[in-house]
Structure 1
Amino acid sequence: MAGHSKWHNIKRRKEAQDNKRAKMFTKYSKEIYAAVRESGDDPETNLRLRHALNKAKAANMPNDNIERTIKKANGEAGSVEYEELTYEGYGPGGAAVMVKVLTENRNRTVAEVRQAFNKNGGNMGEDGCVSFMFDKRGFLEIADEDKELDEDELMLEAVEAGAEEFEMNDGRAIVYTEPGHFEMVRNHLTEAGYEFEAAEVTMIPQTYTKLSDEHAEQMMKLIDQLEDDDDVQNVYHNFELTEDQAEHFTPA
């Protein structure tokens, strides 16, 4: 599972840049909006909303933005109908790619997603062409940069909380859960004093694909272009960046 963690580390550093913040907030706002429209504005009974709020708050999204979005979703300040869609395809070198979108204009969004694939050495495929290669799982990552984590203690805590899998990777503890156990495990580890670098229910590839340097660079450009699209909520892939590629392509 190391590839998932490794790419998330790169993605997170890039998202920390100021020019990414506005796009991040837009994506979180759309997810909150869709969650409220789907099942109401009470996070106690709306699990999707609760997850969306947790992600928004972890990214330091202002409360005013969150409250304004919830009001809009409730029809208090205008209304938009978002359609949830998934596009699938192959990146350069045959890497599997899934793109989750929330859009009010399907034709615009599919054209932009297709253009991103075509421009960066990939191609869109039919529905279901790669989704079978991914499993929906809870993913939690705990940094151990100061080497103070007790691996055995953390593993016992995670197992006791209901975790499905645990591993240490490059100074980070990675915990995987069944989707339905994610919140229970996260809450248990939070109460035990652990802080997360990442915590989400996501799509984990069953196997990973390493690419040539040329294809790896194209793949990163493809992911960047897709994630820069305001309609794109998540990009899932099975591309595993090698250590040498991470050092070469990752901005300092």
Structure 2
Amino acid sequence: MSATCLTALPTTPSATSSSTLSMKRSSTMTTTTRTMTRTQQQNNRAGNTPKRDTRVYMGRKAAKVAQTKNKNDAIRTKLYGKFGKEIARAAKEGGTGTDNVRLQGILKDAKRMSVPADLIERNLKKAGEAKGGDFMELTYECYGHGGVGIVMEVLSDNVNRCAGDIPAAVKKGGGKMAESGSVLFNFERKGLVYLKSGDEDAIFEAAIEAGADDVKENDEFSEDGYVVIAEYQSFASVRDSLIDGGFDVDAENSGLKLLPLANVEVSEEDAEANEVLLDKILEIEDVDAVFTQMDSIL
């Protein structure tokens, strides 16, 4: 979201006055555990900042269509489509005036993401139509190859269409639909703020001061990138604080996202089969985000 996250608007930020952070290197590195308090953070300004995790394993961003040469265009298309639906729904529920706080927040984020003005205007007008802007949030769950749990977040104006399209795509990709709640409980929602590059120590200090929980090196979207992890309630304030601080925030890929509580390791063959399954799911226009337990993402 998340990220964005564009799967849902962040709620009112909550301040963190004295957080204790426990960080462990991933399984590919030598195990090191550190605990840091606010006082220690201040002391570390002298240069004694501990090492952070080198990776974060997470579900698939809605727009991240795997291994395609047009990935960036696909990301942008999904992103803009999500904004369009959110704008139409917010305007339908609260009107298009400046007193509609939810709408104004979405429009602010849309501007930050360079969403085309004509798309914004078109969806604002749609809200005034008798059948326009009536979107519902839905969650679908399924199992992929190798027992991988998959959660799909949907925002649709046609529930019946989703009820047909999603199971069909899952079946075509070799997956199996799951009962409501049987997969979702294996995930937790977090706010993830991606940075394209920057000084590790400076990012860590600024992120923690803003209320984040952790900072990890992450090359999912940028070779020298980082990801800042925060409670979902604090996502907006942490993101905005880093932007205001001049950090190179990747706003397009940041957002509220579901992270697996435990990763499911799969064979290379199952990983490839799951990539095909995810691509088929993401082809559905109503699907805005897909998150998996798959550890071995190509």
Once the two structures are superposed, the pairs formed by residues 1-252 of structure 1 within 5 Å of their partners are 2-4=56-58, 11=64, 14=68, 16-18=71-73, 21-41=76-96, 46-47=101-102, 50-51=105-106, 54=109, 56-57=110-111, 59-73=113-127, 75=128, 79-144=132-197, 149-170=198-219, 171-197=224-250, 198-241=253-296, 246=298
The higher radius of gyration belongs to 2
Paired residue secondary structure (2:217): strand
Alpha-carbon distance in structure 1 between the residues aligned to 2:282 and 2:113: 16
- What's the C-alpha RMSD, in Å, of the aligned pairs? 2.9
Alpha-carbon distance in structure 1 between the residues aligned to 2:254 and 2:98: 17
Alpha-carbon distance in structure 1 between the residues aligned to 2:72 and 2:279: 13
Kindly state the Cα deviation for residue 83 of structure 1 after the two structures are TM-superposed. Answer: 2.1
Kindly state the Cα deviation for residue 19 of structure 1 after the two structures are TM-superposed. Answer: 5.9
Aligned to 1:249: none
1:94-141 deviation digits (Å, cap 9, x = unpaired): 111111112222222122111121112211111101111111111011
**Unaligned residue ranges in structure 2 (runs of 5+):** 1-54
Alpha-carbon distance in structure 2 between the residues aligned to 1:35 and 1:191: 27
Segment of structure 1 superposing worse, 155-164 or 110-119: 110-119
1:188-242 deviation digits (Å, cap 9, x = unpaired): 1001101222221111111222221221111111111111111111111111235
Paired residue secondary structure (2:229): strand
Paired residue secondary structure (1:210): coil
Amino acid paired to 2:149: A
Alpha-carbon distance in structure 2 between the residues aligned to 1:115 and 1:202: 25
Higher relative contact order (CA 8 A, sep 6+): 2
Distance 1:137 1:22, change over 3 A: closer
Distance 1:206 1:39, change over 3 A: farther
Kindly state the Cα deviation for residue 186 of structure 1 after the two structures are TM-superposed. Answer: 0.8
Kindly state the Cα deviation for residue 187 of structure 1 after the two structures are TM-superposed. Answer: 1.0
Kindly state the Cα deviation for residue 61 of structure 1 after the two structures are TM-superposed. Answer: 2.4
Amino acid paired to 1:179: Y
Paired residue secondary structure (2:64): helix
Distance 1:141 1:220, change over 3 A: same
Alpha-carbon distance in structure 2 between the residues aligned to 1:82 and 1:104: 4
Paired residue secondary structure (2:58): helix
Kindly state the Cα deviation for residue 80 of structure 1 after the two structures are TM-superposed. Answer: 4.2
Kindly state the Cα deviation for residue 91 of structure 1 after the two structures are TM-superposed. Answer: 0.9
Preserved contact between residue 32 and residue 49 of structure 1 (Cα < 8 Å): no
1:28-86 deviation digits (Å, cap 9, x = unpaired): 311222233344446886347625752x445532112112212222x168624222211
Distance 1:38 1:212, change over 3 A: farther
Preserved contact between residue 58 and residue 258 of structure 2 (Cα < 8 Å): no
TM-score where L is the length of structure 2 = 0.70
Alpha-carbon distance in structure 1 between the residues aligned to 2:278 and 2:79: 15
Preserved contact between residue 64 and residue 75 of structure 2 (Cα < 8 Å): no
Give the percent of matched residue pairs that are identical in Structure 1 and Structure 2: 32
**Unaligned residue ranges in structure 1 (runs of 5+):** 247-252
TM-score where L is the length of structure 1 = 0.81
Alpha-carbon distance in structure 2 between the residues aligned to 1:68 and 1:240: 40
Aligned to 1:250: none
Preserved contact between residue 64 and residue 74 of structure 2 (Cα < 8 Å): no
Paired residue secondary structure (1:79): coil
